[in-house]
Amino acid sequence: MKLKKVALGVLAALALAAAAGWFSLDRETRGLLRTLPTKPDVLFWSEAQRDAGFRALDRLPVLAKSRVVPAGATPRPLPPGPPLALPLDVDAYMAGQRSAALLVLHDGRLRLERYGLGFDGSGRWTSFSVAKSITSTLVGAAVRNGHIRSMDDKVSDYLPAMKGSAYDDVSVRQLLTMTSGVRWNEDYSDPNADVARFNQHQPEDGVDAIVSYLRRLPREAPAGTRWHYSTGETNLVGVLVSAATKKPLSQYLSEKIWVPAGMEQQATWILSRTGQEISGCCVQAAARDYARFGQFILDGTRVGGQAIVPDGWLEQATTERTGIGQPGRGYGYQWWTNADGSFAARGIFGQGIFLDPKRKLVIVSNANWAGGARDAKASAARDAFYRAVQQAVDGEAAAKPH
């Protein structure tokens, strides 16, 4: 009888915990989440499910757990600047993007801040591959701190479980530039692609999930000879940084960026089934804190005159290290680069942080593109918006008396 009472008590506690999680969501989100699938296949959710899920990814029962990235006690101010006069209809642009947030920082001042899809500045939105650029910056910090001795060290120097795999020939630098030469399928429309399958992979006992998956993949080209986009490899970068620093990635992010850069809200980072932050994806943060991260990069990752990365490292990270087959565009260390010196972090469905050092610009986009993960029309419209902001800033500079 006592065992039965204990069991009933445990069930009641679990039910209360589930209810607490459910009611922590806003009413609109709860309504949309009622139709979420029972599998964590984000790439194949409906538009309405994405609208709800992207603002609550760290609280969905169908996904793995997340780990908190604590913020500090003193947020970096984002003082308002004069409204930015743009030669386009911002409302129409946001509607076409299905924007949840759109922010423009110019010279550290907030020139534009708009929200949509029932989202606002108090919530967190998932980053998807914008997290890749955050992870890259943590590599720079680990090099500065001596945890990673050289960018030319082999991956297996830090992850012995990769010995004997195709990654035995791959350096940390090649992993960051996605030039490993190892086979990978990143087709977001294919349920059998590696990018869809690796999260469901059952790892061997005691082996990290992504390590277990990637060490089975064959080589297609010599290391360093071709660029091929691979989220799996950024996930491996995160495992490597965590192993080198002997800290959870979320803790290292808090220590090196979230606290010193003055983030206002805590972030969260989704974990794999083996408890490792999924570093190619899945940081949840407030739109203003994505803007603060962009400003932190524009400031050279300096806090109090001290950079968290080695001298010259950030310039390498944010300029072309390898071509990607598109004129005027390239890839750095997990940053997309442009010939004019601007660069960007980009995530599927319209997430982005665009940086233009010359014009002191940071543009943050959170969205849920109607056309899917890689909506070509929406992507082109976003590029046009970036150019419109650049032109508006140039026009202001030209109009000032000299």
Query: pLDDT digits over 72-99, tens only?
Result: 999 999 999 999 999 999 999 999 999 9
**Residue ranges covered by each domain of the chain:** 90-399
Please state, for a pLDDT cut of 70, what percent of the chain lies above it: 90
pTM of the model: 0.91
Residue 167 to residue 154: CA distance in whole angstroms: 8
Residue 367 has pLDDT above 60, yes or no: yes
Residue 137 to residue 310: CA distance in whole angstroms: 11
Residue 279 to residue 40: CA distance in whole angstroms: 17
Token digits for 389? 């902001």
- The stretches of 207-339 forming alpha helices (DSSP H) are 209-214, 231-245, 249-253, 287-298, 313-317
CA angle 172, 170, 239 (to 5 degrees): 50
- Residue range 25-47: mean pLDDT, rounded: 65
84, burial (CB in 10 Å: exposed 0-12, middle 13-18, buried 19+): middle
What pLDDT is stored for residue 25 in this prediction?
Answer: 57
If you count them, how many residues does the chain have? 402
Residue 186 to residue 32: CA distance in whole angstroms: 28
Closest CA to 273 of 100, 62, 65, 32: 65
Instruction: Categorize the per-residue pLDDT at 39 as very low, low, confident or very high, splitting at 50, 70 and 90.
Output: low
Instruction: Categorize the per-residue pLDDT at 34 as very low, low, confident or very high, splitting at 50, 70 and 90.
Output: low
Residue 42 has pLDDT above 90, yes or no: no
What pLDDT is stored for residue 24 in this prediction?
Answer: 53
Closest CA to 366 of 66, 104, 127: 127
Neighbours of 225 (CB within 10 A): 12
CB 46 within 8 A of CB 54: no
Pairwise pLDDT comparison (28 vs 393), residue with the higher score:
393
Residue 316 to residue 325: CA distance in whole angstroms: 19
CB 299 within 8 A of CB 292: no
- Residue range 363-380: mean pLDDT, rounded: 97
Instruction: Categorize the per-residue pLDDT at 37 as very low, low, confident or very high, splitting at 50, 70 and 90.
Output: very low
What pLDDT is stored for residue 27 in this prediction?
Answer: 54
Pairwise pLDDT comparison (6 vs 18), residue with the higher score:
18
Pairwise pLDDT comparison (1 vs 122), residue with the higher score:
122
CB 214 within 8 A of CB 185: no
CB 158 within 8 A of CB 150: no
Instruction: Categorize the per-residue pLDDT at 188 as very low, low, confident or very high, splitting at 50, 70 and 90.
Output: confident
- Residue range 181-185: mean pLDDT, rounded: 95
Residue 54 to residue 58: CA distance in whole angstroms: 9
What pLDDT is stored for residue 12 in this prediction?
Answer: 42
Please state, for a pLDDT cut of 90, what percent of the chain lies above it: 80
CATH architecture of 90-399: 3-Layer(aba) Sandwich (3.40)
Residue 219 to residue 162: CA distance in whole angstroms: 13
**Residue 44 Rama label (left phi>0; alpha psi -120 to 50; beta):** alpha
Question: Three-class SS of residue 155?
Answer: helix
Name every residue whose Cβ is closer than 8 Å to that of residue 187 and which is 6 or more positions away in sequence: 193, 195
Residue 381 to residue 168: CA distance in whole angstroms: 41
Residues 276-309: tens digit of each pLDDT = 999 999 999 999 999 999 999 999 999 889 999 9
Instruction: Measure CA of the first residue to CA of the last residue in the chain; give whole Å.
Output: 87
